[in-house]
Structure 1
Amino acid sequence: MLTEVALLESRALRVEQMGRVDALDKVKGLVMLPDGIHVRTEDVARYFGVSTGAVKKLVQRHRAEMEENGLKLLRGADLRTFHGDMLSLWSGEEGQSYPQAATQLTLYTRRTVLNVAMLLRDSDIARCVRTYLLDAENELRAGYVSLDRRVTRVESCLAGVGTALQELGPVLDRMSYRLDSLDRRLDATNQVVGAISVRLCDMADDIVRIDTRMDDMAQGLKDLRRRRHRC
């Protein structure tokens, strides 16, 4: 079973959970910058209810990991371009100006914030996010175990079916042989019927010829009788 301590200590386990950014909104709403993609250090600190210093120290200790999950540091031209894009999207309350960093700006994505949640120890919100992740993961693993058991039972049933099919094999072979024999006998019968049909056609022709000859003979007898009658 996955535990909170394991999640805090194992980078590999954290990597496995990086797709679960939905956990953030399940626990608390995360206020994003106007682009809907990034948040600042202040926003991250506000979300977790800690100081910005605590977030910055965490980033310093795990910068490489967080950069893999979207952490960016903007300066110079990149920073000016970013602020220009944000200003074009800004729709804050009347009289409220878009906050611009003077020289540099650290940006976090949802993945980065989730990364912070799996590392930040002294935050009730971070613990709630970890609890949500752990519960979902353990439920998923329990589902896998249940599915594995069902697959095992199905495999056992299929093994019995395989044995039955092996026993049925000789019977099917005998039935196949008998069917082949019946096919051969039907072929022979069809040949006999065909030959009889030909003979019957020939007999019909013979009968027609006999009828013709009988008619000729009858006509001849009639002619003979008429000649005798004249005499």
Structure 2
Amino acid sequence: MIDQTALLESRALRSSVLERTDVLDRVKTLALLPDGLHVTTAMVAAYFGVSVEAVRQLVRRHHQELETNGMTVLRGADLRTFESDNMSLSLGSYPQARRSLTVYSRRAVLNIAMLLRDSEVARRVRTYLLDMEHLARTGPLAEPAEPAGHTEAAGPEILSLAALDARIDQRIHHVLGRTVVPMFNALIETSGEHRRELTALHGDVRRAEHRLRQHSARLRRLEGRR
């Protein structure tokens, strides 16, 4: 299995797993701006539990890579439009108008997770990414191993539910990671004029994923009752 050092050092390897942005929320909920698509530098720092300056230093070192994957520096009319669409960025709390604002897509945040060495959250994201990649290579629907100490206590129905739960969860990862997420990333990068439509569609996908997670939770509760 690939170790984290390779992920930190290889841009090609990072690029190969950048569509798995769903991993971010599985490790820790990523708070987004009202547009549902972006975060600021301060929000990135809060997610990873590091200083804003640490994020800025990383951005300076890897600016081109991050820009390719959804980091944008807004200025002028673009900045004013963005702030108008995201009321939480109102200039009322600032003594002077900003000249620029750096924002990041979920893809760019995942990119940062694969570059940020001194963050426990980033390490957990990398671990989750590599585990999912290992599952994809060895077979996404392979039967999960039985938890230690539960072989005798678990009946056939509970094991069946656990296997079904694992298969559903892995299939959600596979479908969202391989199809829906790349599609949205491509559309967002090339179709700025359709921002509102894309935001609505993105919300629909998020709600669908939420319902699938609820279904998974119900299966686990049913397993607990049995």
Question: Contact 1:76–1:103 (CA<8 Å) still a contact in 2?
Answer: yes
- Residue 118 of structure 2 aligns with which residue? 122
> Aligned with 1:19: secondary structure?
coil
How far apart, in 2, do the equivalents of 1:97 and 1:24 lie?
29
How far apart, in 2, do the equivalents of 1:16 and 1:98 lie?
41
Question: Contact 1:74–1:105 (CA<8 Å) still a contact in 2?
Answer: yes
- Residue 128 of structure 2 aligns with which residue? 132
Higher relative contact order (CA 8 A, sep 6+): 2
- Residue 8 of structure 1 aligns with which residue? 8
Question: Contact 1:48–1:124 (CA<8 Å) still a contact in 2?
Answer: yes
- Residue 101 of structure 2 aligns with which residue? 105
- Residue 22 of structure 1 aligns with which residue? 22
- Residue 44 of structure 2 aligns with which residue? 44
How far apart, in 2, do the equivalents of 1:81 and 1:43 lie?
20
How far apart, in 2, do the equivalents of 1:86 and 1:65 lie?
26
Q: CA deviation at 1:105?
A: 0.3
How far apart, in 1, do the equivalents of 2:67 and 2:132 lie?
26
How far apart, in 2, do the equivalents of 1:66 and 1:15 lie?
11
**Any gaps of 5 or more consecutive residues in structure 1?**
147-231
Return the letter of the residue paired with 1:6: A
Return the letter of the residue paired with 1:52: V
Distance verdict in 2 for CA 1:102–1:30, change over 3 Å: same
Distance verdict in 2 for CA 1:122–1:98, change over 3 Å: farther
Q: CA deviation at 1:59?
A: 0.6
How far apart, in 1, do the equivalents of 2:47 and 2:93 lie?
18
How far apart, in 1, do the equivalents of 2:82 and 2:139 lie?
44
TM-score normalized with structure 2 length: 0.58
Return the letter of the residue paired with 2:130: L
Structure 1 residue ranges, 4+ long, deviating more than 2 angstroms after superposition: 96-101
Return the letter of the residue paired with 1:138: H
> Aligned with 2:70: secondary structure?
coil
RMSD: 2.1
Higher helix share: 1
How far apart, in 2, do the equivalents of 1:86 and 1:4 lie?
36
Q: CA deviation at 1:98?
A: 7.3
Return the letter of the residue paired with 1:15: S
TM-score normalized with structure 1 length: 0.56
Question: Contact 1:2–1:137 (CA<8 Å) still a contact in 2?
Answer: no
Q: CA deviation at 1:117?
A: 0.2
How far apart, in 2, do the equivalents of 1:129 and 1:55 lie?
16
Pairing 1:164-183 to 2, within 5 Å after superposition: none
Return the letter of the residue paired with 1:4: Q
How far apart, in 2, do the equivalents of 1:131 and 1:66 lie?
21
How far apart, in 1, do the equivalents of 2:86 and 2:92 lie?
8
Q: CA deviation at 1:97?
A: 8.2
Q: CA deviation at 1:61?
A: 0.6
- Residue 224 of structure 2 aligns with which residue? none
Q: CA deviation at 1:143?
A: 2.2
